[in-house]
Amino acid sequence: MIFDLEIFQITLLSLQISAFATALSLVIGLPFGTLLALGKFPGRSFLLSIVNTGMGLPPVVVGLFVAMMLWRSGPLGDLRLIYTPTAIIIAQVVISFPVVTGLTAAALQALDPRLILQLYGLGASRIQMIWMLWREARLPLLAALMAGFGSVISEVGASMMVGGNIRYQTRVLTTAIVLETGKGEFDKAIGLAILLLVITFLVNWALTWIQQRSVRR
Amino acid sequence: MKALVEIQDLLVRRGEHPALQMEHLAIQNGEVLAVVGPNGAGKSTLLLTLARLLKPERGEIRFNGIQSSAESDTDYRRRIALVMQDPLLFDMTVFDNVASGLKFRGVHKDELRSKVPLWLERLGVGHLAKRRANQLSGGEAQRVSLARALILEPKLLLLDEPFSALDPPTRSRLLDDLGTLLKETATTTVFVTHDLPEAAQLATRIAVIVGNRMRQVSSPNEVFNSPADEDVSRFVNHRQAK
């Protein structure tokens, strides 16, 4: 397989979409997971079980609902987002947000609960207390980030359904693999699959390096 | 002596049951008050209430004559420091651990660089400044935990059985050092323990809590020789017999 411009464009788009979706999931999931872990309010356990269920959401089901929402005749049809990279990002956020939220909540709940008392007892404000807890739980939080990224870079169903696999616009590595396999172009499909594996490995290797560096320090 | 803290008609619940009831307690400026009593009597409840980590259902706590609820929890807590039974050090270096409380207060880095080594030395752990907290022994970790609290120069130091997890020789050395430091700095201290000799060694006065009520506050001698009631007498004799 020749590494032409199209493959470079597909790879770049895959990375951009999944990185943006993971970052967005982190921005929403980290505070929400923290609220679920530390908050005391009615319905907290129920919300936590919904989030935990969401961690195993099948991407095709997410694709179906996001497509229905963004479809021309759907409630958000006027935004004209269906078959755009933004639609894929929305679907991927729906997939990875529960992963990041659930693992954040689990990471914080695994900390010694007396840490909160100790932090307050040393004069920490609420924000400082939360920052310190995130710092203490940074290893599992980085694992949450890796899991979030892994859940979106590898998914194909939702990207196909809401992105449409349009050449030069919404074709990403996973949907391109499906396309090439469908055409019987196995050598291309295998090449793309190896590329996807290498990228996933490199991203996780970088995150693991950051994680392990903080263990050694 | 002027009271630093004054508690009036206090009721604290933990769950359904009253965890602590107290009609009156005045903690004098500069004194070390040991709080003793059986397990579950309400000693730690008193400490957590004083740290405003538990909300009383009823009653008043005055700090320097001002009702404590007149200021925010954070402002209030920045005048105290809490040391718990386990050191609960953060996953960072010893230096950073000791600096953490000052950083919460926005203290400048230059001040941290001058103050932290000083307090580490005072607690005898100056050589450990660069060590990770998880590489310390129990005694070293508790010394770091004490340095982390004392560096804040708190108006009120709250100690919740800080020596109970240590072996007897380590405990004895740390107790001696802490006693000297508290005298030098004249830090008002509330010190929860179930060890009467420890209480007698460190404290100016002893408060005995039995059955979630404070039964007696007086000098160590008075508690040992003239217990206020049967329960106090039973507790003191039982503990002394151990």
User: Judged by CB atoms within 8 Å, which residues 123-152 of A form the interface with B?
Assistant: 123-126, 128, 132, 135-136
Specify if A194 maps to a domain.
no
Instruction: Taking the CA atoms of B197, B203, B207 and B211 in sequence, report the sign of the dihedral they define.
Output: negative
Torsion of CA B46, B52, B55, B58, to 10 degrees: 70
- Give the count of Cβ contacts less than 8 A between chain A and B: 60
CB A148 within 8 A of CB A25: yes
For tokens 């059985």, the residue is B161
Does the beta carbon of B144 lie under 8 angstroms from any beta carbon of chain A? Answer: no
The DSSP letter of residue B93 is B
Q: What is the pLDDT of residue B2?
A: 73
Q: What is the pLDDT of residue B66?
A: 86
Q: What is the pLDDT of residue B15?
A: 85
Chain A neighbors of B78, CB-CB under 8 A: 123
Query: Domain spans of chain B?
Result: 3-79+154-241, 87-153
CA B214 vs. chain centroid, Å, equals 17
CB contact under 8 A, A121 and B80: yes
Chain B neighbors of A126, CB-CB under 8 A: 74
Q: What is the pLDDT of residue A116?
A: 97
Does the beta carbon of B86 lie under 8 angstroms from any beta carbon of chain A? Answer: yes
Mean pLDDT on B95-120: 97
DSSP string across A46-68:
HHHHHHHHHTT--HHHHHHHHHH
Q: Which domain holds residue A50?
A: 16-171
Specify the CATH number for B3-79+154-241; select among 3.40.50.300, 1.25.40.420, 3.40.449.10, 3.40.50.720: 3.40.50.300
Q: What is the pLDDT of residue B16?
A: 84
pLDDT, one tens digit per residue, over B152-174 is 999 999 999 998 888 888 889 99
Q: What is the pLDDT of residue A215?
A: 67
Confidence of residue B229 (pLDDT cuts 50, 70, 90): very high
Between B182 and B16, name the one with better pLDDT: B182
Q: What is the pLDDT of residue A216?
A: 61
The residues of chain A scoring below 70 in pLDDT are 1-3, 215-217
CB contact under 8 A, A117 and B86: no
What is the domain count for chain A? 1
Q: What is the pLDDT of residue B1?
A: 58
CB B171 within 8 A of CB B165: no
Sheet holding B213-218, edge to edge: B66-67, B58-63, B3-14, B17-28, B213-218, B205-210, B32-36, B188-192, B156-160, B80-83
For tokens 């963004």, the residue is A70
Going by C-alpha positions, the residue among A167, A170, A100 that lies closest to residue A137 is A100
pLDDT greater than 80 at residue B241: no
Q: What is the pLDDT of residue B242?
A: 60
User: What span, in angstroms and rounded, lies between the C-alpha atoms of A73 and A129?
Assistant: 47
DSSP string across B130-189:
TSBGGGS-HHHHHHHHHHHHHTT--SEEEEESTTTTS-HHHHHHHHHHHHHHHHHHT-EE
Crossing angle between the packed helical segments A85-109 and A44-54, to the nearest 10 degrees: 130
Mean pLDDT on B72-91: 95
Give the Cβ contact number of residue A206 at 10 Å.
Answer: 11
pTM of the model: 0.91
Q: What is the pLDDT of residue A9?
A: 95
Chain A neighbors of B151, CB-CB under 8 A: none
Question: Mutating which of B50, B72, B104 best tests the A interface, going by the most A Cβ atoms within 10 A?
Answer: B104
Specify if A127 maps to a domain.
yes
Specify whether the backbone of A209 is left (phi greater than 0), alpha (psi in -120 to 50) or beta. alpha
Six token digits for residue A29: 């999931």
CB B165 within 8 A of CB B9: no
Chain B neighbors of A217, CB-CB under 8 A: 132
* CATH, residue A142: 1.10.3720.10
